[in-house]
Amino acid sequence: MTAPLTQEAKEDLLERGYSRRHFGRLTTLLGMSAALTQFGSSAFAAIKAPGDDPFVGHPDMVRIGSNECWTGPFPSAVTAGQAQVPFGNRYEPDHLRSTLLRTASSVENISEEHILPWPGSSDPLCRSVVTFCSPERGLVTANPTYEAAWRTADWMKIKLTRVPLSAHNGYATDVRAMLKADPNAGAYYICSPNNPTGTVTPLEDIAWLADNKPAGSVIIVDEAYIHFSGAPSAISLVKQGKDVIVLRTFSKMFAMAGLRLGLSFARPDLHKRMMRYDGPNMISMLNIVALAAGAVSLTQTDAIKARRDEMIAARSMTFDHLAKRNIRIVPGSQANMFLVDWKKPASQMKTAFAAKKVEIGRNWDIWPTMSRVSVGSMKDMEAFCAALDQILA
């Protein structure tokens, strides 16, 4: 549970256009883990009672609906995590938090003072929206994209502007269109590679936005899937002192979705503003198994490449199969997901695949005939292709 808002935090909120009615909404958002899940992906439907959702939690299903990794953490990370289980009676048995920060600093070549650890990346995303947006300064995102920022804006009554992705720039986030859509926004959210399209926004585009955005605003760059793409990171802009916050999670490439661990990279003053509402609650007491496994995962350069190559092979095989069936996908994915256009309501195809014991992902309102499909193992994707053939027979 979060601590009551300090007077400084209340004054900050009021000065930025929030009302006192927002205080309770903010403390609910930041103080309750159960509340945070409603702002994140429907992947968290597993917290429901058995039987509430027919597409989640069935052990005999091929699960390619939630962008989870198809296998567990790297073996070395498993060993490191298991070694901490006997010390689970201690909050911090062996400087694990500082080891994670030191390792991330070394791997990303950025000072530790620019890094904060989190139980996943949903919390820093939600609080970034609250911190830098307001009823007077809105949020701008692509459409479609990861919805947690949208739900936060709706919850806090923040103006939301969504800029459609289009083929003219390869379905990358159009930063110039974002700035034009709201020249006075408080935050511009870019997920790259984007969820659900898997498309990458060029780093030079993000740098352009950082140089041309309105004063006092920030760019939130969500790099949950960057290890699958190998694209250059916006952390370089953080090192240049730009108004940029980069979010990372260990849920995807590092296969730690259930362990809950993430990092944010930003100037210390931006981090300080993000933390003024509840102090160090969310960044201090972290799961020691996750801390140990996460630190080791970051150093596994060869294993990361091998896992990326395995994903690309399974994705390429699937794309070839879809092409043979004359089924269109949104091109350009560089991540472990893609969008398939069924030319019919996506909900119908989700149900049809579930009947074949294959769980595929959801659709977005802007493209109601498209389903997101996560890339699993080669065996998973072969099962997807076989189920598709049966559905189309």
Angle between helical axes of 96-108 and 288-298 (0-180°, round to 10): 20
Percent of the chain predicted with pLDDT > 70: 92
User: How far is Cα 166 from Cα 141, in angstroms, rounded to an integer?
Assistant: 14
Hey, what amino acid is at 26? Answer: L
35-44, 336-345, 367-376: the lowest-pLDDT one: 35-44
User: How far is Cα 137 from Cα 23, in angstroms, rounded to an integer?
Assistant: 17
Residue 57, pLDDT score: 52
Residue 5, pLDDT score: 79
Q: What is the mean pLDDT of residues 5-18?
A: 84
Q: What is the 3-state secondary structure (H, E, C) of 137-184?
A: CCEEEEECCCCHHHHHHHHCCCCEEEEECCHHHCCCCCHHHHHHHCCC
Measured between alpha carbons, how far is residue 335 from residues 35, 299, 307, 355 in Å? 28, 20, 12, 27
Residue 10 confidence (pLDDT) above 90:
no
Phi, psi of 258 (to 5 degrees): -80, -10
Residue 245's Cβ-count burial label (10 Å; 0-12, 13-18, 19+) is buried
Q: What is the mean pLDDT of the chain?
A: 91
The H-or-E segment that residue 221 falls in is: strand 218-222
Q: What is the mean pLDDT of residues 196-206?
A: 98
Residue 391, pLDDT score: 97
Kindly report whether the global pTM for this prediction surpasses the value 0.85. yes
Radius of gyration of the chain (CA): 21
User: How far is Cα 58 from Cα 36, in angstroms, rounded to an integer?
Assistant: 24
Residue 224 confidence (pLDDT) above 60:
yes
Q: pLDDT for 369-387, tens place per residue?
A: 999 999 999 999 999 999 9
Residue 303, pLDDT score: 98
The answer to whether 27 and 4 have CB atoms below 8 angstroms apart is yes
Q: What is the mean pLDDT of residues 142-146?
A: 98
The answer to whether 230 and 308 have CB atoms below 8 angstroms apart is yes
Q: pLDDT for 260-272, tens place per residue?
A: 999 999 999 999 9
User: How far is Cα 255 from Cα 249, in angstroms, rounded to an integer?
Assistant: 10
Q: pLDDT for 147-166, tens place per residue?
A: 999 999 999 999 999 999 99
The answer to whether 245 and 234 have CB atoms below 8 angstroms apart is no
Residue 228, both tokens: 């699958």
In the structure, what pLDDT confidence band is assigned to residue 285 with cuts at 50, 70 and 90? confident
Residue 344 confidence (pLDDT) above 70:
yes
Residue 225 DSSP class: T
Length of the chain equals 393
Phi, psi of 269 (to 5 degrees): -70, -35
55-64, 106-115, 163-172, 207-216: the lowest-pLDDT one: 55-64
Residue 14, pLDDT score: 87
